[in-house]
């Protein structure tokens, strides 16, 4: 059997992915100055998900799949030190987005045996979006002044599965976590909805004291049997890989309302439902010039968007919040923030 050497992307997925099949037995190995993991006798299960991942990523920039002769150390299954053996070398490092490779390959590996490779290839955009969200989660933790300053090392994840995968995914883990008495919990199972990060912006014209809301059909209220599944919302959208939250907010304002924002005031960055949802919101009030002529229907036809824009006065916005007609959480949050900060914004207009 040919040896297997996993470099960027693939190696990170093995190290970060609890429960990936055949991941035991790896030996650190470097090739051309790049650190990786070497399998002298790769397990069939490991080979199977490697084949699947390379099929999903076929044609992607940064995918490397080649063979070469390498020297295997005894711990990698080679009895005679110094002897060489043909090895399949795999790496995935998309140009400009190299750090996304590990989380992307990890998610792809979890889909093996559940989602046809061609179907998953069509969803690589959302896989990149989720990978970028994971990287932001690692890089920008919120402060810990009241809560415990415990990190991910206080959680021991023994397995992870993907019971459902589509445009969004559901992931299920078996894990233990540190209790407040210092002991580790008994093993528990947790499942969560995995989407990506979103940028949310409420456009506001401080000179005219106007806001812009959008209205559209929403599947969530429909699932709840809501009698009126059309909701009033701020502008919102997923943050694409390689895009900052601020860039996403400005892009979505153009796509959904044909609006160019002048300045963004960050309101909050938060989890709307952390018990079972990885989604993370970056919320802004966006200063812009607004008038009644901006009311109309927009959105991207390619995404089946049908979005009505409403330009209303600030007082009308607060009436909608008070009556409950504005029943979208981020809109209520942004309206209350605007109520508190409106005098400052108007004074500077």
Same domain, 204 and 338: yes
Same domain, 109 and 45: yes
- Residue-level pLDDT at 298: 77
Same domain, 201 and 332: yes
Same domain, 10 and 86: yes
Same domain, 293 and 343: yes
- Give the total number of structural domains in the chain: 3
State the maximum Cα–Cα separation within the chain, in Å, rounded to a whole number.
81
Alpha carbon distance 234, 110 (integer Å): 34
Query: 155 Cβ partners below 8 Å, 6+ apart?
Result: 175, 176, 177, 178
Same domain, 77 and 61: yes
* Domain-embedded: residue 150: no
Same domain, 11 and 110: yes
Beta-carbon neighbour count of residue 114 at 10 Å? 13
What amino acid positions are annotated as catalytic residues? Answer: 303
Same domain, 33 and 57: yes
Same domain, 331 and 238: yes
Confidence check: pLDDT of 20 > 80: no
Domain range for 205 is 197-347
DSSP-derived letter for residue 328 is: -
Average pLDDT over residues 321-339: 98
- Residue-level pLDDT at 279: 96
Same domain, 47 and 162: no
Lowest mean pLDDT among 107-116, 234-243, 284-293: 107-116
Same domain, 174 and 259: no
């Amino acid at each position: 059997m040919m040896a297997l050497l996993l470099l960027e992307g693939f190696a990170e997925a093995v190290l970060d992915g609890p429960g990936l099949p055949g991941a035991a037995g790896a030996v650190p190995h470097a090739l051309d100055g790049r650190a990786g993991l070497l399998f002298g006798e790769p397990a069939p299960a490991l080979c199977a998900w490697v084949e699947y991942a390379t099929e999903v990523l076929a044609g992607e920039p940064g995918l490397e799949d080649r063979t070469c002769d390498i020297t295997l150390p005894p711990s990698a299954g080679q009895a005679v030190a110094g002897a060489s053996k043909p090895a399949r070398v795999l790496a995935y490092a998309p140009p400009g987005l190299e750090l996304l490779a590990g989380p992307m390959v990890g998610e792809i590996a979890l889909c093996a045996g559940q989602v046809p490779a061609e179907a998953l290839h069509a969803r690589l955009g959302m896989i990149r979006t989720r990978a970028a969200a994971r990287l932001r989660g690692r890089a920008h933790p919120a402060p810990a002044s009241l809560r415990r300053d415990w990190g991910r090392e206080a959680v021991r994840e023994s397995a992870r599965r993907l019971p459902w995968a589509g445009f969004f995914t559901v992931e299920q883990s078996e894990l233990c976590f540190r209790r407040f008495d210092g002991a580790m919990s008994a093993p528990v199972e947790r499942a969560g909805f995995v989407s990506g990060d979103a940028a949310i912006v409420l456009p506001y014209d401080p000179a005219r004291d106007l806001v812009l809301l959008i209205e559209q059909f929403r599947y969530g209220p429909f699932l709840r049997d809501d009698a009126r599944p059309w909701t009033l919302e701020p502008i919102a959208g997923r943050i694409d890989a390689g895009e900052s939250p601020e860039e996403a907010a400005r892009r979505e304002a153009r796509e959904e309302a044909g609006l160019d924002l002048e300045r963004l005031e960050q309101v909050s960055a938060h989890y709307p439902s952390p018990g079972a949802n990885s989604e993370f919101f970056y919320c802004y009030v966006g200063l812009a010039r607004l008038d009644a002529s901006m009311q109309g229907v927009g959105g991207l036809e390619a995404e089946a968007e049908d979005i009505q824009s409403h330009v209303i006065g600030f007082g009308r916005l607060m009436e909608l919040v008070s009556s409950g007609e504005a029943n979208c959480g981020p809109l209520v949050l942004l309206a209350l923030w605007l109520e508190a900060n409106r005098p400052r914004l108007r004074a500077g207009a």
